[in-house]
Amino acid sequence: MSETVMIEALGQGTLARTQALDNVFDWVEPRGLDGKRVLVLLGDIPVRLDLVERTVQALSGAARVDFAARSLAGYDEAYRSALTSLLGGRGDLIEIVSGEYESLTVPKRSYARQLHKMETPERRYIKQAFVARCLAEADLFVVIRGLELNRFSGVHGVFATVLDCVPTKTRTEILSYAAYRLMGEALLDVWSAIRGAFLFGVVDGERAREETYGRIAETGVILAGIDPDELDGYALIASGGRVSWSPFSSSASARIGRGGRGRGADVASNISLHELRARMPAGFLQKPAMHGAFGAPLVFRFSRRPDNFDTLVCPMGAIEEGQNGIPLVRRAACVACGWCLKEYAEVSPYRR
């Protein structure tokens, strides 16, 4: 197929979603599954079961299919039972944070790397990455999740899902490059260490969710793709954001561009990008600037103590308990990765 992304807008009627899923999976048509072990990566928030059912059907030729999510805390007993039933003994339902991780060597890239005009002879930012064993052992992997937005990365897409598959040690190393605006490059190093190949991804955007505030927007679209850069880029456009906001998808930013432009040869769609953007409510996605004047990192402050506050949210250990109960962010340790912005609505950036 010439297209790498499909954007399917749901029509009217009771069978509109069924027809949309038919169109999406007819377009995806995965091949070369014989004897392969496939891992289906899910988000922390369960997607509708009809999407999972269609995914399992599309992967019927695989020797083994496993489901994995960073955490199953948001999955009730009925939903877990339904997932287990869909697998039918062909695989397992895996909670990544409760499982084991495998150390993978990151291969060197074929071109010279520079960091603030200093060459890195290793041609990689991360040399050794720890990745969930289920992902490290899979021959192919698929990402199935809802369209979730946040103030941190704009959209929780394919690359961010892989970030869910690494432990705190590797996540900290990746996020430490955020201060240099190189977090996406560091994450691509981890991506290159994964032996399995990305097969396809489906993002259910019928009801988009904003993670930080928990708001919901009816968008009525389903996005699918075989290229992770392009899929994440168009998911950002579908959410009303700009591709340049994403720390993961620089190549998609260059190809797709900002605003409503896109390459018609690479996307199959029954809806224009302009109409897609118009479906998002005004102010639904509000991402503050991550850098102040002259590129200086901003200072992050808590307005009050969050109800579910935990100092371990910060991968750099920069958040500590304040004397008046309001958490403090230590400037010396903060790398402005924005992870606290993603987790807590009580955090705001300020200029130094």
Q: What tens digit of pLDDT does each residue of 323-334 get? A: 888 999 988 888
| Mean pLDDT, range 66-82, rounded to an integer | 95
Range among 111-125, 202-216, 254-268 with highest mean pLDDT value: 202-216
* Shared-domain flag, residues 37 and 141: yes
| Residue 288 covered by a domain | no
* Shared-domain flag, residues 268 and 313: no
Q: What one-character DSSP code corresponds to residue 13?
A: S
pLDDT band at residue 8 using 50, 70 and 90 as cut-offs: very high
What's the chain's average pLDDT? 83
What are the backbone dihedrals phi and psi of residue 139, each rounded to the nearest 5 degrees, phi first?
A: -80, -35
Tokens 């995806």, residue located: 28
How far is 204 from 51, CA to CA, in rounded Å?
8
Q: What tens digit of pLDDT does each residue of 263-320 get? A: 444 788 888 877 887 887 776 766 655 555 556 667 889 999 988 888 877 877 889 8
* Shared-domain flag, residues 333 and 270: no
Question: What CATH number is given to the structural domain containing 199?
Answer: 3.40.50
Domain residues for the domain of 337 are 293-350
Residue 292 pLDDT: 54
Last residue of a domain, one of 231, 252, 278: 278
What is the total residue count of the chain? Answer: 352
* Shared-domain flag, residues 135 and 186: yes
* Shared-domain flag, residues 234 and 334: no
Q: What tens digit of pLDDT does each residue of 120-160 get? A: 667 788 999 999 999 999 999 999 999 988 766 677 888 88
* Shared-domain flag, residues 16 and 157: yes
What is the domain count for the chain? 2
Residue 285 pLDDT: 67
- Beta-carbon contacts of residue 226 (< 8 Å; ≥ 6 apart): 1, 4, 28, 198, 199, 200
* Shared-domain flag, residues 183 and 318: no
* Shared-domain flag, residues 179 and 315: no
* Shared-domain flag, residues 14 and 95: yes
- Identify which has the larger pLDDT, 257 or 74: 74
* Shared-domain flag, residues 177 and 269: yes
* Shared-domain flag, residues 223 and 273: yes
* Beta pairing class for 347-350 and 299-302: antiparallel
Task: Give the dihedral of Cα atoms 179, 182, 184, 186; nearest 10 deg.
Answer: -100
How far is 20 from 23, CA to CA, in rounded Å?
5
> Are the beta carbons of 23 and 8 closer than 8 angstroms?
yes
* Shared-domain flag, residues 31 and 66: yes
Question: What CATH number is given to the structural domain containing 305?
Answer: 3.30.70.20
- Whole-model pTM over 0.85: no
| Residue 333 covered by a domain | yes
